Chains A and B, each alone.
Chain A
Amino acid sequence: MGDLRILLVDDEPFIRELVEISLGLDPEIAVKSCASGREALDEADLWLPKLVLLDVMMPEMDGPQTLSRLREKEATARTPVVFMTARAQSRDIAHFLTLGVVGVIPKPFDPVGLANEVKRYATPGDMDLRGAGSI
């Protein structure tokens, strides 16, 4: 398991499983999954992920709420967050970007290219180098 720690938050078990499989194809990536925003807040404190992949529409605490709680915590105040969402119309995406995420990955997603896409968001300094030619 690699050392690029990605924390995935999604209430759909199949999506969690598929994202774990997809990211697991890349040896540099380590994935942990949470089924709710609340669970993610605790896990993020302990595990200190390099990036959080966050579903938007979840019961109880949704994506934007989880994001703002992550920002309130010292450990995760600057952790890059990417929304992964089925609500991916342009008006939604425009709105999400104003909330302070570094990107939005629409569902359905490309499982084969997902690891590269996530790595680009997780290491913004290398984005130009790594992003070139991928996807």
Chain B
Amino acid sequence: MPNWVTRAFEGVGQALGRRGDRTAAAEVRNGNGFSGREALYAAAVHSWSLAFLSTDRDGIVTGWNAGAENLFGYGAVEALGRDIEAVVRVADPEAAGTFRDRFCVGQRVPNLATVALGKDGTPIHLIFDISPLRSVTGDHVGASAIARDVTEQRLAEELFGLAVEASPSGMMMIDRSGRIVMVNREIERLFGYHRGELISRPVEILVPEHMRGVHVALRAGFARHPESRKMGHGRELVAMRRDGVEFPVEIALSAVQIRDGLLILAAVVDITERRQTERLKDEFVATVSHELRTPLASIAASLKLLEAGKGGELPPLAQRLVTIAQLSGERLTRLVNDILEIEGIESGSLRFQFGPVSLRATAEQAIETSRDLASQAGLTLTLADSGPGDVWADADRLVQVVTNLLSNAIKFSPAGEEVVLAIDEDDNRVRLSVCDRGPGIPDEFKTRIFSKFAQADGSNIREKGGAGLGLSIVRQIVERLGGQVGYEPAGGGGTVFFVELPRPTAMEGAPASESGPLAAVSVETPGAITRNR
């Protein structure tokens, strides 16, 4: 508070205190008893909308301006000469005495928060700044105070606090040094601690010991680049309860800038149930895989032996029936394989072996694999002249991508047409495109074309024999390979589907391969399955 105000207020207080006159406030307004300048100051203070008040050393009110009148509901005439307790009625009776003492002890008390009842009984959240008043000779004569009404702010804070407290996600705030500064009820429930046991402790007490080093590094990384993100995204983060039991969590982080620096807000979700569901799904898939493939294996092998004449020569009609059964069996096998494939990609359990791959060689291999299918449909497959199209990818998965694109093109192109593959490259990316002669993609289907089990309405897909998984697998694999997939109308009808992949030079410094299975596996796996389709 500027000196002149203090002095002016002190003057008012002394004058009123000396005279003990309840009508003094009116006189103050007229400047009675003061020099012209002091009277002006006193009048100014009195008219402020901010609440000013003063007491003598015994807590008797000696000053009460218009702001105080508005705030507490007592006029100056009512307030002056009364005990501060009587006009600033502290809501908590136990705190009332302490509050009064603050005015009597002769010390500065900044930011004293309290709740007082107004004259009409309404609770008012207040912040007081109390300063001792001294006479011109330096004697302690009382105290002056400014009171700010923070009721609305407090209510907003209270609502916010209730929302955080009731949040179904665990919420906590951590300071830059990793110490917990706030937790909500869900955090207490998740981790089995009372909040008093967590506040000011390093957040690592909630992390299993074997992961604490990693966690400190992750936290430091976030503090350096504090963009909001999910900490557990794509990675299983493990948390530890008070009883030592570990559980998987997903954590979303946000940086919160406050006056004293950076705080990290962490929303913690227990994903134990989600993980259990995923495990159940994996088991289910493995079982389905076995239970469906075993009878399929018998059907396919029997038909194949019959078709090969191992059961004796078949009359033409029987031969045709065997062929139909065989094609249907192959289709069912492909469907089971596709479902397993997509499940493997989505769950991340399918490992990719990255390395330099020639897209042209890949296209040639896929054309070879698809040639029978194409000739059955009366189509020719052509690879346009192109360079090697070196990319950074998993060779086997890439063959699968091109094979699926070819399969799609073959399904939708009328007999007698040509499906053309082309490879174009620039400095960073290589594009492989497959141009079909199909009817094009209906507008209403465009948003779903790469989704699982997506089939255009009214299409003759049933007779084409697809489950709507091929393009979905293409997209998932290409995205895992760091590329992108798309389509555009082909000049002269039909559609061009394309994939774009990074060149090896664009991936310098990338790991040579994902940690994964032995090199021999890539020979055994997809090749073997493809041969048997």
Give A residues with C-beta under 8 Å from B.
12, 14-15, 18, 21-22, 25, 57, 86-91, 93-94, 97-98, 103-113, 135
In the complex, what residues of A have CB within 8 A of residue B305's CB? Answer: 18, 21-22, 111-112
Interface centre among B297, B340, B341, B516 (most CB of A within 10 A): B297
Overall SS of chain B's interface: helix
Contact A108 B521 (CB under 8 A): no
Note all chain A residues with C-beta closer than 8 A to B304.
Answer: 110-112
A106→B294 contact, CB < 8 A: no
Q: In the complex the two chains form, is A86's CB within 8 Å of B297's CB? A: yes
> Is B290 in contact with A86, judged by CB distance below 8 angstroms?
yes
Which chain B residues (296-312) contact chain A, with CB distance < 8 Å?
A: 296-302, 304-305, 308, 310
Among A87, A94, A106, contact of B528 (Cβ-Cβ < 8 Å) = A106
Asked whether B344 lies within 8 Å of A111 as measured between CB atoms, the reply is: no
Complex Cα gap A94–B299 (Å): 27
Interface size on B, residues (CB 8 A): 38
Partner of A108, one of B301, B340, B516, B524: B301
Q: Which of B290, B300, B517, B524 contacts A87 (CB 8 A)?
A: B290
Residues of B within 8 A of A104 (CB): 524, 528
User: Shortest CB–CB separation between residue A86 and chain B, in angstroms?
Assistant: 3
Contact in complex: B308, A112 (CB < 8 Å): yes
Pairs across A and B, CB under 8 Å, 25 listed: A15-B297, A15-B298, A18-B297, A18-B298, A18-B301, A88-B293, A89-B289, A90-B351, A90-B521, A93-B521, A93-B524, A93-B525, A94-B518, A97-B518, A97-B521, A107-B293, A107-B296, A107-B297, A108-B293, A108-B296, A108-B329, A109-B301, A110-B304, A111-B301, A112-B308
CB pair B293–A86 under 8 Å, yes or no, is: yes
B532:A108 contact, CB within 8 angstroms: yes
4 extra interface residue pairs, beta carbon distance < 8 Å, beyond A86-B293, A97-B518, A109-B301: A88-B293, A94-B517, A98-B518, A108-B296
Question: A89–B302 Cα gap in the complex (Å)?
Answer: 23
A12 touches B298 (CB 8 A): yes
B297, B333, B351: the one within 8 Å of A91 (CB): B351
Cα separation A135 to B297 with both chains bound (whole Å): 18
The docked-state distance in angstroms from the alpha carbon of A94 to that of B522 is: 9
